[in-house]
Structure 1
Amino acid sequence: MTQFTVGAQMYSVRTLLQTEEEMKTTFASLKAMGYNEVQMSGYNFQIPPERIAALLAEAGLHCGSTHVSFDWMEEDVDRCIAYHKILKCEYPGTGGMPRHFLDRGEEGYVDFAKRASKVADKLLDAGQHFLYHNHAHELSHFPKGRGLEILFNETSPAFQFEIDTFWIQAGGMNPIEWIRKVAGRMDVVHFKDMKPTCTITEIGNGNLDWPKIMAVCDEIGVKYAFIEQDNAVEGDPLNCMKISHDHLAALGARF
């Protein structure tokens, strides 16, 4: 069995998280499948964190991590810390770099690295860990290196990476190699499978080598792996999450 715990990324079921009643039903369904950990993302952010925490507790789930807006985090880090304390969450994350950084190319990456490092350091002082989730565009080349390399080299050690297996593969790179590259700075990873057509699919229905990916995650000391399927909402998102759960469970994943 894996040393890390696999959970469900809520962006996969975001259409089922827009009211408290939907959250209650969806959380119960995920618990019944065998999930114990979630990463909150894509939900109705107007629902107070106190209510989300209560609904998670009622379902027997724990919020291991989140994805929230970086601009929101930077605007008021103390508010961000308090929000995540209510959720009993140690890993506040952001789903990607805001467009106003990306549009500036290499200079934008360097600026983001500096500003995100300040947020990460403040979170660490409060016992929380900043996560950065990549897409394929962070593998673009610049004079200082690929975007992800700039972030690795220019950020504080408190800045953690959240490698997304699909997006690394989509960017033409090997997710196993990148997981090793960020060893020591990645407690949380995204598990996402890819069809040969370069589309997202359920874990096990694509072409990624899950036994090897799971092994390298244990090797570097990952704590959480969250299953994300962005396009699950185009069909039956809960069934998609069950397919992924069952495949990884059969491979020895801890839930």
Structure 2
Amino acid sequence: MSKLKLGLQMWSIHDVFVNQGFEKALQEMSKMGYEGLEFALGGSATLSDRCGYPVDPKELKKMMEAYGVEPLGSHIAFGEFMKNPEVVLQECLDLGLKYAAVGPAFEGDRTPHGDQIEKYKQITEGARVFKENGIQFQVHCAVYGYLHDYKGRPTYQGMIEEAGIDLIQPEFDTAWMICSGNDPIELLKKYRGHVDILHFKDYHPVPYDTEYILVRHNEVCDHHRGCAVGDNGVQDVASIVAAAEECGTKWVLTELWNEENSLENARISAENIKKYL
């Protein structure tokens, strides 16, 4: 039996969290077999801001324990962290999170070199603050993370190298690994032992391809009409799960798009991934 655990990223059923509340979302997650939850704050500083209703993180942690769902990590808004570091960090601590992730620091070489260097410094200092408080920092490798920095590195790689792998881990997303022209298995091997969380997101093949990453990204987004993980998408779930386990990954997470039928796609995704766990 696999040692990998199955989790869900909050955005996958964002509509349920916002419109029906955390208890309903946790009930549904638990029924589907999801063992952990990664929060997603977007541009908000706190879950209360994100959801539009009061959320007490300590009470939420108790509720999650009651449903057998582990509070795993959070996609924080780094801009909000820079403005209100105590507020953002404290919510992560109150929830008992092990991880905190941010997106790519900037949009590759479209950002002036001086700004790139400053962003790397800010991210490194932020990662150090979280590490000192027992939380592992991560870069969620969205497609912009594969654009190159002033040294010719993918931005996600630059973030890791400037801070050090002990301060920043990669949190890869299978959809954007594939969209960016990378082999998920090869990237897992490259960062063996440092990819604690792997996001599974999928998309149906698109009719138009190009060498330029952002055009591919836009084509994927423009043609997206809903796709559960493993539902005739672009990836071999079985081989990626096997590689993740072999490379020391701890959690595989479903991350869906802004789906109209979010619960059904979350259920199908769980079933398709659990076949290989």
Once the two structures are overlaid, the 10-residue window that deviates more, 101-110 or 162-171, is 101-110
Letter in 2 for 1:174: D
Whole-Å separation in 1 of the counterparts to 2:103 and 2:147: 18
**What TM-score do the two structures reach when normalised by structure 2?**
0.80
- Determine if the alignment matches structure 1 residue 90 to structure 2 residue 117: no
Whole-Å separation in 1 of the counterparts to 2:109 and 2:83: 19
Specify the alignment match of 1:148 in structure 2.
Answer: 156
Whether contact under 8 Å (1:70, 1:94) holds in the other structure is yes
Whether contact under 8 Å (2:178, 2:184) holds in the other structure is yes
**What TM-score do the two structures reach when normalised by structure 1?**
0.87
Whether contact under 8 Å (1:110, 1:150) holds in the other structure is no
Specify the alignment match of 2:209 in structure 1.
Answer: none
Whether contact under 8 Å (1:36, 1:62) holds in the other structure is yes
Whether contact under 8 Å (1:90, 1:129) holds in the other structure is yes
Specify the alignment match of 2:134 in structure 1.
Answer: 127
Matched-pair identity in %: 22
Cα pair distance change 1:137/1:36, threshold 3 Å: same
- Determine if the alignment matches structure 1 residue 226 to structure 2 residue 253: yes
Select the structure with the greater relative contact order (CA < 8 A; seq sep ≥ 6): 1
Specify the alignment match of 1:2 in structure 2.
Answer: 2
Whether contact under 8 Å (2:146, 2:180) holds in the other structure is yes
How far has the Cα of 1:105 moved from its partner?
4.7
Q: Which runs of 5+ in 1 are unaligned?
A: none
Q: Which runs of 5+ in 2 are unaligned?
A: 42-49, 207-219
- Within the candidate set 121, 127, 136, 1:114 is matched to 121
Q: What's the Cα RMSD here?
A: 2.3
Deviations 1:90-118 (A, max 9, x none): 1112244367x986255444322221111
SS at match of 1:231: coil
Cα pair distance change 1:26/1:102, threshold 3 Å: farther
SS at match of 2:187: helix
SS at match of 1:160: strand
SS at match of 1:6: strand
Whole-Å separation in 2 of the counterparts to 1:192 and 1:107: 33
- Determine if the alignment matches structure 1 residue 241 to structure 2 residue 240: no
Specify the alignment match of 2:170 in structure 1.
Answer: 161
Whether contact under 8 Å (1:2, 1:214) holds in the other structure is no
- Determine if the alignment matches structure 1 residue 201 to structure 2 residue 227: yes
